Amino acid sequence: MKKGQYYPTVFATFSAIIAFIAGAAISSRTFNLDMKWSVLVGMFVGLLFYILSYFRAKASVEIKRITKKFNLTSSELAKITGLRESDFPIYNGSLNLIVPKKHWPKILDRLQEYERAQESNK
């Protein structure tokens, strides 16, 4: 079993539960909606946060997996992604993603291209 296999699901579930509670409470108290509508709004907000959190966590796990698989350094990551070397600090052999989340899809795409290129060269 992989270390980060369940992380995206667990993280997204907790995020969805918190978002559901917040969405239902805010819609009930602030907008004075009936309980039925408050629960529906909470479910919608919870679903949105589940999807968003799941894909962000999955992207983080994938970026770190590829980095670890090929033992990439900060300078190699910067060269592959076109970002700065300081955006990829590696402490104790683990990558810390301090890059804004809006850049994660671009980073993941470039690293997946790198992984495919490396595997086709073997």
Strand partners, 91: 94
Can you give the pTM of this predicted structure?
0.86
Tell me the pLDDT band of 106, cut-offs 50, 70 and 90: very high
Mean pLDDT of 37-45: 97
CA 77 – CA 45 distance, rounded (Å): 35
62-100 pLDDT tens trace: 999 999 999 999 999 999 999 999 999 988 888 999 999
DSSP state of 83: S
